[in-house]
Amino acid sequence: MDIWRITGERKLEGSCTVQGSKNATLPVMAASLICPAGTELFNVPQLSDVDSALRILRHLGCRAYQQGNSVYIDSTAISDSTIPEHLMEEMRSSVFFLGALTARCGEARLSLPGGCRLGKRPIDLHLDALRRMGAEIEENGGEILCRARQLTGCEITLGFPSVGATENIMLAACAAKGSTVIRGAAREPEISALSDYLISLGAEITGAGTSSITIEGFKPRKQTHFRIISDRIAASTLMCCTAAAGGRVELRDVVPEHFSTVTDVLAGCGCDMIRTGDTLTVSAGGRLSSPGYFSTEPYPGFPTDAQPVLMAALLKASGTTYIREKIFENRFRQAAELRKLGADIETDGNLACIKGRERLYGSRLEATDLRGGASMVVAALGAEGETVICDSGHISRGYEELDKVLCSLGADIKATPHNTSAAADG
Ligand code: UD1
């Protein structure tokens, strides 16, 4: 159990570099399997989810390790196409190994992935698409066996722009005969990042970042290197920390257009934003005002991953805020914990209503999931007195040394790590 002790109401001042993107790193790590080649990745955050992906790669026979913010993977000699349950359940992103292993070995045997318990999180869209490409899939309880002697390119229309399904199809399509067209594809920046990585391996892909992506089977290269994009959710979290605590923070090495929906809501609440190139400076002084309403949407809409942290930043905003969560059924789990700080939050299905309170008071909280845990850190920074957050490894799955980053900006946080990992969260 990691214990965070946060004494709130300290303004944040200074400058920090935002970490590389977790959600771009994990699909790229799975993609490194597609052809027998060496991959060097830069700007990789040091996270327990990255450790989990490295463990899976090593289990499959790759050489794979992280040194600082670089990851090295040599997938020349794969000895296995089966991933045991204990490795699959460590994170949601293990699902990408389905497409990658099927592409490389013509077979994948694995169990359903773990992941933050945000709702049902089925993978029917992934499986339907692979079947359309010619894979035979057996589902036996929680186990999946996917076999394809030769995948065949085809046109796949997604009923919902699922990020994970789009990425899995892109991975499988790299080994398919002929071209694959994904219609209704997700448009998240992480999709473009995966496309850029696959192109660096030799793939021919057009349209990533739009709702229609075309992938051709390709001749692999032997070696590639790739820089992971900046994490838009970590940047959004640091903006929300500043909004909750007050102060002025410069975020370096960001792509502001990747999280402009979050910036726009905060600007509407009274935060000042100054953007210069790959730097964004956020300033917050005095009480925020409620934005009234916002809802989560597929990209380029407001990201579901930033909803819990923005909710936390708005607990003290004047007025009432309504939040409609449109991606996951169960993404207000943080609300019950935030109430312990004195927050006035009511939830009804996928709608949350927050009545801004003038003050919040430190309490003892339990992190519910990755972004829910981060939302408690945000709220604690704006609360009077000490908040203790008990976290069974959720926050370190997605944030690289968040406590140290915030302390470097003036926060008062004492985090005591204990070496136990979160049970299946993602
Ligand atoms: C989602 C987010 C992504 C975020 C990630 C981690 C969206 C669109 N996606 O990606 O930005 O980084 O969580 O929190 O915001 N679904 C199905 N069947 C499937 C796949 C998905 O019904 O086969 C449903 C899910 O239950 C969910 C929705 O589609 O309600 C979004 O799923 P998807 O985009 O696939 O989720 P992630 O890839 O986990």
226 forms bridges with which residues in the sheet? Answer: 41
Size of the chain in residues: 426
From the CB of residue 98, how many other CB atoms can be counted at a distance below 10 Å? Answer: 28
Give the residue, by CA position, lying nearest to ligand 1 atom 6: 305
Show the beta-strand stretches assigned E in 191-299. 204-206, 212-216, 223-227, 247-252, 272-276, 279-284, 293-295
DSSP per-residue letters across 92-124: GGGGHHHHHHHHHHSEEEEE------SS----H
Q: Which amino acid is at 308?
A: P
For the sheet with 2-7, list strands across it. 364-366, 386-391, 2-7, 412-416
List Cβ neighbours of 110 (8 Å cut-off, separation of 6 or more): 82, 83, 88, 94, 97, 98, 101, 143, 144
Alpha helices in 60-186 (DSSP H): 85-88, 96-105, 124-132, 163-173
Evaluate: CB of 160 within 6 angstroms of ligand 1.
yes
CA of 183 to the centre of ligand 1 (A): 16
CB of 400 within 8 A of CB of 46? yes
List Cβ neighbours of 220 (8 Å cut-off, separation of 6 or more): 34, 35, 36, 37, 201, 202
Evaluate: CB of 164 within 6 angstroms of ligand 1.
yes
Q: What pLDDT sits at residue 285?
A: 93
Evaluate: CB of 304 within 6 angstroms of ligand 1.
yes
Of the residues 116, 146, 174, 269, only one is catalytic, namely 116
For the sheet with 143-147, list strands across it. 107-111, 143-147, 136-140
Evaluate: CB of 189 within 6 angstroms of ligand 1.
no
CB of 202 within 8 A of CB of 175? no
CA of 296 to the centre of ligand 1 (A): 12
Rounded Cα distance between 93 and 115, Å, is: 8
* Nearest of 292, 356, 355, 300 to residue 324 by alpha carbon: 292
* pLDDT tens digit at each of 426 positions of the chain: 899 999 999 999 999 999 999 999 999 999 999 989 999 999 999 999 999 999 999 999 999 999 999 999 999 999 899 999 899 888 877 889 999 999 999 999 998 876 556 666 789 999 999 999 999 999 888 889 999 999 999 999 999 999 999 999 999 999 999 999 999 999 999 999 999 999 999 899 999 999 999 999 776 667 889 999 999 999 999 999 999 999 999 999 999 999 999 999 999 999 999 999 999 999 999 899 999 999 999 999 999 999 999 999 999 999 999 999 999 988 999 999 999 999 999 999 999 999 999 999 999 999 989 999 999 999 999 999 999 999 989 999 999 999 999 999 999 999 987 754 444 334
Q: What pLDDT sits at residue 90?
A: 81
Rounded Cα distance between 413 and 389, Å, is: 11
Give the residue, by CA position, lying nearest to ligand 1 atom 33: 162
353 is catalytic: no
Question: Vertex 28, ends 136 and 373: CA angle to 5°?
Answer: 105
Which H or E element spans position 138? strand 136-140
Q: Which among 327, 330, 369 is the best mutation to test ligand 1's pocket, defined by most ligand atoms within 8 Å of the CB?
A: 327
Evaluate: CB of 126 within 6 angstroms of ligand 1.
yes
> Sign of torsion, CA 78 31 21 253?
positive
Residue bearing tokens 């502001």? 256
* Nearest of 272, 96, 87, 63 to residue 169 by alpha carbon: 96
Phi, psi torsion values for 278, nearest 5 degrees? -100, 30
CA of 15 to the centre of ligand 1 (A): 32
Evaluate: CB of 159 within 6 angstroms of ligand 1.
no
